[in-house]
């Protein structure tokens, strides 16, 4: 622990790095190479501005099939006053694109010409007549593409730094180029290190971590115009890592040393960098991802190569790519037009806390409800790559701000197009497995379902705030035995909504395979040898549990693990599967998914609550179509414990 990381602000980290890169002569385009002008040049970055060598067209070209003439010779021609021109001397047939004879200055389209033979009759060889007769005058340069119409020799065709698009290649060819000077592709070595890492495809035992950061970083590097070289996994051994870094330094332009960037006992990155060069920064005040190392490695010939110590948590690794690697590749390629994700302003859907000293890059789901763009924060864990997959964008809570209140404006860098955002159905509420299947089917119908799981009551609150297109809910009224109605009256007194049946589903206890502890009813939860995993407060399942505990006269306090909360049925099942708990309440499908046993106890209605304002537009049409779609119902019924007979029926308005 001799060196402990010390977070510095992002701007300072970047400026230290920039200064060292400048000193090393690496602050600009790395180099250029000449490549043939063909379709494979697309996506490369032009290293020098290109000026036209020739004009396009490079001669006066006919723009029609017809006869090249001198316009002066057509003077006076009119329907009642035809003018006759002798072939070869005064008129020559030209196809579109053919050059005009020196003496000609206009083309008369073939359909406006009467070709004649030597007897004055219509010629049988319309393209080689004896003469032609015309009945309208034309002006000089009619139906001619004059030389240089498109491009004039010496004009600027494409400026340096442009990433070449297909049409750019056309213009470059038209202007007489035959090869192109483009920026050399930066070579990036990606070095996964860690004794606990195993390659994709390995048999796994507890403690093994599948090494996929190098795949993510590699794909990022390639996407940003570099060439990624993935190295094999190196174990946590100082000398072995030193050797790898030296090897990589030989023929690359940048080294990404993944994991071991923190200050733990087996975190060698900073020591390796110190030994082989200089550590510029150890720790950047960004979240997630703060244990970043920026340094320079010195090669045998005294030249330098930058090294980035990338944190091991996958979200940190991917964001380190975006924050440090992408700008460096853009610089080295001289790209003047890096593809930029659009940035929009959105309303944050719930209060979030951020460390005041950090730039906090927050993953968010984005949707538009009632014309308002909303950003719902996703889980923060840096280990959760899946949250980055589900993120529609990244919202920055800048350094100096301690957090945001629900409803505050936030800037979001979008990973999706605005069009996709507008096709997004934003569901906040109770989780159900059928929503995953719905998402799949909607994806075939130009809709994207984003479901944020906050439990049934949380969903109704979101509807009241106008922050969701629908909420899945299964809140049992203990008084009436009716689902949702009384809660809607309570939570949504001023929001007209309609309620539709979605699925019926079995609720019960998820237990270990073979039910080794012989759990048969809720009464067993009070047993001292039984540990329970609960759903969070406000979820329909929790309401059902508390209702049934009350009915049975059981006490929550006597249930070991009652305070352990999970947010989805599958998370409860996973807790049981892993042995963290002996049982938890949930649905049949979750038990089956993880091959656990299930004790059925109750059947409940899972309903969709939809604001009437949302029903008025067409966003949800595909969802209602699906309630009548046998294929969709078949897919739902593959999940055990579900009924769909009443799907889509309006039960409340």
User: What's the min distance (Å) between Cβ of 237 and a second copy?
Assistant: 15
User: What's the min distance (Å) between Cβ of 301 and a second copy?
Assistant: 30
- Cis check: omega of the bond before 85, within 30 degrees of 0: no
Beta strands in 442-518 (DSSP E): 448-453, 471-473, 497-511
C-alpha to C-alpha distance for 43 and 18, rounded to whole angstroms: 26
User: What's the min distance (Å) between Cβ of 478 and a second copy?
Assistant: 30
Nearer to a second copy, 26 or 591 (CB): 591
Nearer to a second copy, 404 or 581 (CB): 581
What does 8-63 look like in DSSP terms, one character per residue?
B-HHHHHHHHHHHHHHTT-SS---EEEEESSGGGTT-BBSS-EE-SS-BSSS-EES
Q: Map tokens 């003047």 to a residue.
A: 336
C-alpha to C-alpha distance for 98 and 575, rounded to whole angstroms: 77
Nearer to a second copy, 534 or 605 (CB): 534
Let me know: does 289 contact 360? Beta carbons within 8 Å. Answer: no
User: What's the min distance (Å) between Cβ of 174 and a second copy?
Assistant: 5
User: What's the min distance (Å) between Cβ of 75 and a second copy?
Assistant: 14
User: What's the min distance (Å) between Cβ of 226 and a second copy?
Assistant: 11
C-alpha to C-alpha distance for 131 and 569, rounded to whole angstroms: 88
End-to-end CA distance of the chain: 64
Nearer to a second copy, 5 or 574 (CB): 574
C-alpha to C-alpha distances, 10 to 14, 286, 398, 402, 593, nearest whole angstrom: 6, 7, 10, 17, 44
Token pair, residue 6, equals 């010390």
C-alpha to C-alpha distance for 241 and 247, rounded to whole angstroms: 10
User: What's the min distance (Å) between Cβ of 484 and a second copy?
Assistant: 26
Nearer to a second copy, 165 or 558 (CB): 165
CB within 8 Å of 584: residues ≥ 6 apart: 509, 510, 532, 533, 534, 535, 566, 572, 573, 575, 576
User: What's the min distance (Å) between Cβ of 333 and a second copy?
Assistant: 14
Nearer to a second copy, 178 or 302 (CB): 178
In total, the chain counts a number of residues equal to 653
User: What's the min distance (Å) between Cβ of 363 and a second copy?
Assistant: 10
The CA-based angle 331-334-338, given to 5 degrees, is 75
C-alpha to C-alpha distance for 17 and 280, rounded to whole angstroms: 7
C-alpha to C-alpha distance for 296 and 173, rounded to whole angstroms: 41
Nearer to a second copy, 228 or 614 (CB): 228
User: What's the min distance (Å) between Cβ of 249 and a second copy?
Assistant: 21
Nearer to a second copy, 276 or 319 (CB): 319
Let me know: does 375 contact 393? Beta carbons within 8 Å. Answer: yes
Alpha helix ranges (H) inside 213-254: 213-223, 238-250
C-alpha to C-alpha distance for 623 and 447, rounded to whole angstroms: 9
Nearer to a second copy, 18 or 495 (CB): 18
Nearer to a second copy, 71 or 554 (CB): 71
User: What's the min distance (Å) between Cβ of 207 and a second copy?
Assistant: 4
Let me know: does 309 contact 270? Beta carbons within 8 Å. Answer: yes
User: What's the min distance (Å) between Cβ of 193 and a second copy?
Assistant: 13
Burial 308-332 (b: 16+ CB within 10 A, else e): bbbbbbbbbbbbbbbbbbbebbbbb
Nearer to a second copy, 141 or 602 (CB): 141
HEC-encoded secondary structure of 630-648: HHHHHHHHCCCCEECCCCC
Q: Is 481 exposed, middle or buried (0-12, 13-18, 19+ CB in 10 A)?
A: exposed
C-alpha to C-alpha distance for 309 and 302, rounded to whole angstroms: 21
Nearer to a second copy, 202 or 628 (CB): 202
Let me know: does 432 contact 460? Beta carbons within 8 Å. Answer: no
Nearer to a second copy, 48 or 646 (CB): 48
User: What's the min distance (Å) between Cβ of 149 and a second copy?
Assistant: 7
What does 78-138 look like in DSSP terms, one character per residue?
BTTB-EEEEBTTTBEEE-TTPBPPTT--EEEEGGGEEEE-TTSSBPS-TTS-SEEEESS--
C-alpha to C-alpha distances, 613 to 59, 447, 468, 620, nearest whole angstrom: 63, 18, 11, 11
Nearer to a second copy, 49 or 243 (CB): 49
Helices H / strands E in the chain, number of each: 18, 38
User: What's the min distance (Å) between Cβ of 398 and a second copy?
Assistant: 19
User: What's the min distance (Å) between Cβ of 219 and a second copy?
Assistant: 4
Strand-pair partners of 506: 603
User: What's the min distance (Å) between Cβ of 298 and a second copy?
Assistant: 28
Nearer to a second copy, 127 or 633 (CB): 127
Nearer to a second copy, 363 or 542 (CB): 363
């Amino acid at each position: 622990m001799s060196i402990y990381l010390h977070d510095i602000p992002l701007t300072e980290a970047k400026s230290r790095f920039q200064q060292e890169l400048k000193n090393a002569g690496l602050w600009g385009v790395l180099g250029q190479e000449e490549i043939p002008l063909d379709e494979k040049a697309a996506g490369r970055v032009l290293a020098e501005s290109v000026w036209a060598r020739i004009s396009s067209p490079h001669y006066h070209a006919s723009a029609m099939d017809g006869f090249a003439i001198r316009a002066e010779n057509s003077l006076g021609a009119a329907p009642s006053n035809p003018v006759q021109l002798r072939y070869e001397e005064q008129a020559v047939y030209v196809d579109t694109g053919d050059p005009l004879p020196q003496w000609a200055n206009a083309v008369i389209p073939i359909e406006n010409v009467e070709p004649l033979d030597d007897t004055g009759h219509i010629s049988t060889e319309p393209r080689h007549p004896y003469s032609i007769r015309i009945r309208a005058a034309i002006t000089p340069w009619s139906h001619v593409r004059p030389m240089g119409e498109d491009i004039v020799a010496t004009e600027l065709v494409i400026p340096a730094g442009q990433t070449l698009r297909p049409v750019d290649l056309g213009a470059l060819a038209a202007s007489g180029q035959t090869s192109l000077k483009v920026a050399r592709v930066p070579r990036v070595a990606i070095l996964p290190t860690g004794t606990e890492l195993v390659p994709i495809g390995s048999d796994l035992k507890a403690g093994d971590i599948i090494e996929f950061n190098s795949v993510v970083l590699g794909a990022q590097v390639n996407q940003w115009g570099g060439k990624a070289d993935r190295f094999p996994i190196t174990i946590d051994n100082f000398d072995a890592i030193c050797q790898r870094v030296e090897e990589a330094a030989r023929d690359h332009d940048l080294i990404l040393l993944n994991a071991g960037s923190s200050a733990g006992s087996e975190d060698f990155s900073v020591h390796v960098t110190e030994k082989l060069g200089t550590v510029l920064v150890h720790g950047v005040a960004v979240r997630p991802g703060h244990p970043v190392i920026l340094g320079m490695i010195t090669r045998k010939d005294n030249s330098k190569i930058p090294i980035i110590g990338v944190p091991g948590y996958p979200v940190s690794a991917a964001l380190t790519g975006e924050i440090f690697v992408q700008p460096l590749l853009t610089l080295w390629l001289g790209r003047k037009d890096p593809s930029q994700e659009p940035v929009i302003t959105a309303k944050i859907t719930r209060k979030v806390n951020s460390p005041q000293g950090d730039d906090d890059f927050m993953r968010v789901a984005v949707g538009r409800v009632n014309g308002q763009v909303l950003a719902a924060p996703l889980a923060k864990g840096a280990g959760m790559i899946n949250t980055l997959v589900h993120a529609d964008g990244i919202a920055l809570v800048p350094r100096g701000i301690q957090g945001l209140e629900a409803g505050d404006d936030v800037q979001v860098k979008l990973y999706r197009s605005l069009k996709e955002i507008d096709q997004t159905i934003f569901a906040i509420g109770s989780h159900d497995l059928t929503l995953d299947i719905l998402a799949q089917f909607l994806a075939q119908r130009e809709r994207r379902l984003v479901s944020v799981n906050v439990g049934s009551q949380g969903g109704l609150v979101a509807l009241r705030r106008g922050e969701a297109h629908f909420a899945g809910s299964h809140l049992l009224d203990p008084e009436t035995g009716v689902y949702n109605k009384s809660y809607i009256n309570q939570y949504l007194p001023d929001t007209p909504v309609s309620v539709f049946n979605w699925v019926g589903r079995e609720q019960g206890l998820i237990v270990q395979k073979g039910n080794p502890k012989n759990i048969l009813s809720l009464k067993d939860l009070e047993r001292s040898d039984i540990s329970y995993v609960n759903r969070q407060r406000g979820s329909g399942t929790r309401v059902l549990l508390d209702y049934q505990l009350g009915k049975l006269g059981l006490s929550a306090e006597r249930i070991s693990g009652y305070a352990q909360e999970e947010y989805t049925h599958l998370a409860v099942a996973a807790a049981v599967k892993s042995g963290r708990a002996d049982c938890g309440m949930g649905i049949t499908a979750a038990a089956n998914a993880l091959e656990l046993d299930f004790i059925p106890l109750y059947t409940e209605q899972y309903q969709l609550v939809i604001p009437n304002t949302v029903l008025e537009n067409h966003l949800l049409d595909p969802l209602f179509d699906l309630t009548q779609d046998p294929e969709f119902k078949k897919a739902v019924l593959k999940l055990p414990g579900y009924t769909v007979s009443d799907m889509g029926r309006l039960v409340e308005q």
